[in-house]
Structures are given as C-alpha cells and as structure tokens.
Amino acid sequence: MAYNSLLYLFIFLPAVLLAYQLAPKNFRYKVLLSASYIFFLSFSGKLLVYLLFSTLSIHHIGLWLTSCKKDFLSAAHAPENKKAEKAAYEAKRRRILWFGIGLQLSILMILKYSGFFFENFNLVLKAISFPRLLPAMKFALPIGISFYTLQAISYLIDVYYEKIEAVDNLGRLALYLAFFPTLLEGPICRYSQTAEALCQGKPLEYKNITYGLQRMIWGLFKKLVIADRLNLLVETIFDTPNHYGGIIVIAGAVLYTFQLYADFSGCIDMTIGTGEMFGVTIPENFRQPFFSKTASEFWRRWHITLGAWLKDYIFYPISLTKFVKNLGKKSRAKFGKHFGQIISSAVALFGVWILNGLWHGTGWNYIFFGMYYFVLILMGNLLEPAVERITSSLRIDRTNNLYRGFQTVKLLIIVFTGELFFRANNLTAGMNMFRSIFTGFHWSAVTDGSLLKLGLTLPDFIAVFFGFIAVYTVGVIHERGISIRERISGWNVFARWSFLYVAILLVIVLGAYGDGYLPAKLIYAGF
C-alpha cells in the first residue's frame, strides 16, 4: 500500500479521514494510531513486534529517566556529599540513556547489518585460510526501521537533555513513532515537531484538505511522471553495467540522480500533504538541493531531517567529547586556528559521514558514498581560504553569475558521481562503471540512437523533459520565497479548478504505471 497506490489514495486515506472526523476529539489520535498499525501490517505483518518493542522500550526508558531525576531532586543531600551524589545520579542517567539507545541500535544492527558484517568477517577468515565460522544470516526488515529507530533515539536523547518531557501516554508516543505518512520514507521527525499536533485531535479543515491534496498531486507528478518513467532506463543501465560505457553511463548517473530526487521528494510531498490534511505540519526534507553551490550546502538542502539528526546527535556530541576538544586545542596551537578547527571537526565529520553511508544500506558502495562526501566536504573546508585568496588575487567576483554557474556545474558533477556509486549494485560495479565512462566514451552514442534502446522511447524522454521543466520552474519560484499554493488560492474558481484538473490529468496520462510498467518501488523505503 504505497502512497501512490489506488488503495492508499482512494480507500485507505479517505477511510482514515472519515473515521478521524467522526471520532470524538480525545479518540482521534487512537484512530490515527490504529490506521498507522494497519498500514504497517500491510507491509510487514508480524514484524510489527519490532516496532512495538521499540515503542514500549523508549516509553519505559523515558519515564525511567524522569523518575530518576525526581528521585534525585526529592532526596535530601548532605552538602558534603552533594557533588558525589550528583555525579552518581548523572552517571546513572547516562547509563539508562545508553541502555535505551543500545536497545534500539541492537535491533537495527541485528536485522539490517548483521548479514553484512558476518559476510565480511567470513571473507577475512577465508583470506587467512580459516574455515567459514559465521552463518550467513538474513532477516526480514520491518518497513521504516531506519527511520523510526532514529526517531526513537532522538526521543530518548531529548528526554535525557530535558528538551522534552517523557510522555506518560503510551498511545501518543506510539503514534509519534508510527504515524503512517512518515513510516515508509520519513522524514525523520522530532517529538517536539509533530507529537502535539498529532494528538490534539483538531477537526479536519477544508483549507488543510485542499492544500494537502494539492501537495499530494505534486508529489504524485514527480513520482509517477519523472521517477517511475526514468526507472525503466536506470534499471537497464545499472542492472547490466558491463554492457555500457561512456555517455550511456553518464546518462545513467545523471538520470538516476533525478529519479532519486523525484522519487524521494515526491514521496515526501505526499507525506507532508497527508499530514497537512490532519492538521499536522511535517518538517520539510528538501529545499531545492540542485540550486546549491557546495557539497555541504547540498546536504543542508537534501534529506534535511537526516542531516539535522546527524548534526544534533552525532556531530555535536562527538565535537564536545574531551578527546576532540583536546585534539582541537593541540591542533590549533600547532597548526593555527583554521587547520586546528578542521582537524578537530574532521573527527566528528567522519562519524557523521560513515553513519550517513551505513544508514543508507549495507554495501561497501554506501560506505564509499559516505566517505566520498566526507573527503569532499573536508577538502572544501580545508581549501576555502586558498580559494578565497586565489579568487581575490585574480579579482574574480564570487557572487557573479558566471562563477555561480561554475559552482553549480562543479556540484552537479560531484553529486552525479556520488549517485553512480550509490546506485551501483556494489562497489566493484560502481568502480567499473566509473572507469567505463572514460574507456568506453564515444560521441556516437548520442547520435546513433543508443539512448533510445535503453527502455525509454522518444515520447518518454519528452514526458520526462516536461517533468524537469515543471520541477525546475517550481524550484525557482520556491527559491524566491513565493508560495505557489497561496497564489493559486487567490485565483478565481474557474482558473483554480482548470489548473487542478490539468494537473490531475497530467499525472494520470503521463504517469508511468499500470500495464507495461513493473511497479517501481519507493527507493528510500528500501533503506
């Protein structure tokens, strides 16, 4: 029951909206929770037990952290012992937190990563002529585990740091973790962002429903017209990588990047649109990433909630460890302020990017992907003063359009290359494909019709091109801070309805679905 399926759009969602509206205010969050579990069951069946375990464990541990604090505050402390008792209390809370995080991570590690680690461990054993010791294990993954585990951890850490209070009502916490629009592909919400609105039980509003539907139509357009159509070509190239080289591989990397963006951001549009219908503001996950100028800016605009999670729960905590602080101090003393800062931040950045890569999947290509951005961002930071000096000595205006165009092209090459490895079947395939760009490069691939033998016909390319133009135009308008939906709502009813009818017809007619198309999965749901 993907967000773009008829079952979701015409049966499930309307039924949930109706049940929600008919339910008494205090019961509405229970309607959403039940719907979320039905949604989960439709994909993962009995694997619901893992989600329930995560919910119950963070609920209990959150309350444990709170009661620990209450106990400490209510106890009488002799002045001479107060410091020691406070240290013991803080250590206890830390242990509780680590226990909670450990529980969440251990489920994720066992289900998602154990097979990968055991396989590689066996390879090492084999290399040193040991018999294979570890069994090859593969577990069924519940949907959204990579997303809801991060939400669960953020909840525990936020309770620990007293940014939020531990929630007593189990149902409300369960809904925060399992809200059905965010289950498949996120975004990774914080408890403080969505929980209150989810449980408020606000009645449905006409404006919210129309705005939500408009956002969903836009998401469907991106998913069905661009992503699923490009899927035909992308699968052909990446599933038989040895058959292609040069321009075909470049086209594969470029078009996969756009497919991924259209797929993921389209799904997020549907998620946000669904949330909007219930009066819940789900955080944005994209902000025109291809308008970025540097790799680090790109990642502040692409999968924003993952980046923010890694920044808050990995980067800062690592940066604040004694080891990194001392390293920073020593490095600054030895290499100067700039290099000193770079060296200390490199440790935290490494943690962020290795986890970013691993979060996406269990292949060496994902680790390579993370390390690729680690090196690029680190180099960007490292070389920034040199670039500044060179451009100013050459009197190059870094704000002019030509320089910005150069930056955009540079960024696009970086992103396309990264996505080539990200999509490749494995790291070796990625390396071979990258090499084949140079060894198999022939301009004739553009003129001899090779591009039209990869699963897409000329009309397909025209439809995709039309989709690009639409996405680009909307991006430019959003970049200028204009709300398209607000503008449309100001039009007269004839213009407004005509626009919506055309939009719906375009999705239905130009969408790559139904007979003749293998159902294209939601890409990020696989992570």
Partner 1 sequence: MKNKNRIKSISFLTGLFLLLYIASYLLIPYNNMGDSLYKKANGILKEPKNTIDYVAIGDSECSASISPMEVWNDYGYTGYNCGVPSQQLQDTYYLLERLLKNQHPKVVFLETNAFYRDFKYINTLETSIEETVKKIFPIYKYHDNWKYFHFYMLKALGHKIKQEQITVYKGYQYSAIVNPYKRGPYVTETDDVYVIDEQPLLYLNKIASLCRDKDIQLILYSAPSPKCWSYAKHNAAAAFANENQLTYIDLNLDIDTLGIDWAKDSRDDGDHLNYFGAKKVSDYMGNYLSEHADLTDHRKDDLFAGWNKELKNYLKLTEQN
**HSE (CB half, 13 Å, CA atoms) of 422?**
26
d(C-alpha 70, C-alpha 248), whole Å: 64
Retrieve residue 97's tokens.
């937190």
Q: Which two tokens stand for residue 109?
A: 């590690």
Binder of partner 1 out of 3, 10, 445, 481 (CB under 8 A): 10
- Tell me whether residue 365 is exposed, middle or buried, using C-beta atoms within 10 angstroms of its C-beta: 0 to 12, 13 to 18, 19 or more: buried
- Binding map of partner 1 across residues 192-221, x = CB under 8 A, - = no contact: ------------x-x---------------
The HSE-up count of residue 417 (CA atoms within 13 Å, CB side) is 18
Q: Least CB distance from residue 508 to partner 1, whole Å?
A: 6
* Residues counted in the chain: 527
Q: Which stretch binds partner 1 (CB under 8 A): 71-79, 325-333, 374-382, 496-504?
A: 496-504
User: Of these, 389, 508, 521, 526, which contacts partner 1 (CB under 8 A)?
Assistant: 508
Near partner 1 by CB under 8 A: residue from 11, 18, 87, 409: 11
Cβ at position 447, least distance to partner 1 in Å: 23
Q: Which amino acid is at 435?
A: R
Our finding on whether 5 is near partner 1 (CB under 8 A) is: yes
Q: What x/- string results for residues 455 through 494 when contact with partner 1 is judged by CB under 8 A?
A: --x-xx--------------------------------x-
Contacts for 499 with CB less than 8 Å, ≥ 6 apart: 488, 491
- In single-letter form, the type of residue at position 82 comes to K
What token pair was written down for 167? 């929630």
Name the DSSP letter for residue 415.
H
Binding window for partner 1 (CB under 8 A); candidates: 289-297, 408-416, 454-462, 480-488 = 454-462
Among residues 497, 499, 521, 526, the one that binds partner 1 under rule CB under 8 A: 497
509 near partner 1, judged by CB under 8 A: yes
Residue 15 interacts with partner 1 (CB under 8 A): yes or no: no
Q: 497 CB contacts (<8 Å, ≥6 apart)?
A: none
Q: 319 vs 426, which CB is nearer to partner 1?
A: 426
438 contacts partner 1 (rule: CB under 8 A)? no
Binding range to partner 1, per CB under 8 A, among 168-176, 261-269, 411-419, 512-520: 512-520
**Considering the rule CB under 8 A, would residue 6 count as an interface residue with partner 1?**
yes
Positive/negative CA dihedral, 502, 506, 507, 508: positive
Indicate the DSSP class of residue 135.
Answer: P
Among the residue ranges 3-11, 183-191, 353-361, 475-483, the one whose residues contact partner 1 (CB under 8 A):
3-11
- Give the DSSP letter of residue 112: I
The reply to whether 504 sits near partner 1 by the rule CB under 8 A is yes
Q: Dig out the tokens for 525 from the structure.
A: 């749901």
Q: CA-CA distance, 380 to 383, in Å (whole number)?
A: 5
Cβ count near 509 (within 10 Å): 9
Instruction: Convert residues 364-403 into a mask of x (bound to partner 1 by CB under 8 A) and - (unbound).
Output: ----------------------------------------
Least distance CB 6 / partner 1 (angstroms): 5
Nearest CB to partner 1, comparing residues 11 and 333: 11
In this structure, the number of other CB atoms found within 10 A of the CB of residue 136 comes to 10
Pair 130, 193: CB distance under 8 Å: no
Among positions 37-96, residues that touch partner 1 (CB under 8 A) are 42-43, 45
Among 24, 79, 481, 516, binds partner 1 (CB under 8 A): 516
Residue 152 beta carbon to partner 1: minimum distance, rounded to whole angstroms: 26
**Residue closer to partner 1 (CB basis): 5 or 200:** 5
Task: Check binding of 500 to partner 1 (CB under 8 A).
Answer: yes
Q: How far is the CB of 519 from partner 1 (least distance, A)?
A: 9
Candidate residues 95, 505, 521, 526; the one interacting with partner 1 per rule CB under 8 A: 505
- CA dihedral for 523, 481, 284, 210, sign (positive or negative): negative
Answer yes or no: are the C-beta atoms of 244 and 440 closer than 8 Å: yes
499 is a contact residue toward partner 1 (CB under 8 A)? no
* Residue 5 Cβ vs partner 1, minimum distance, rounded to whole Å: 6
Nearest residue (CB) to partner 1, 469 versus 508: 508
Among 108, 454, 510, 520, binds partner 1 (CB under 8 A): 510
* 314 membership: H or E segment, kind and range: none
Question: How far apart (Å, rounded) are the C-alpha atoms in residues 38 and 12?
Answer: 10
Between vectors from CA 498 to CA 492 and to CA 502, what angle results, nearest 5°?
150
Instruction: Quote the least distance from Cβ 436 to partner 1, whole Å.
Output: 18
CB of 414 or CB of 500, closer to partner 1: 500
Of 188, 185, 209, nearest to 267 by C-alpha is 185
- Which amino acid is present at 22? L
x/- mask, partner 1, residues 271-290, rule CB under 8 A, reads: --------------------
514 binds partner 1 (CB under 8 A): yes
**Binder among 275, 283, 370, 511 for partner 1 (CB under 8 A):** 511
- Give DSSP secondary structure letters for 351-406: HHHHHHHHHH-SSHHHHHHHHHHHHHHHHHHHHHHHHHHHHHHTT--TTSHHHHHH
Interface positions with partner 1 (CB under 8 A) = 1, 5-7, 10-11, 42-43, 45, 204, 206, 457, 459-460, 493, 497, 500-501, 504-505, 508-512, 514-518
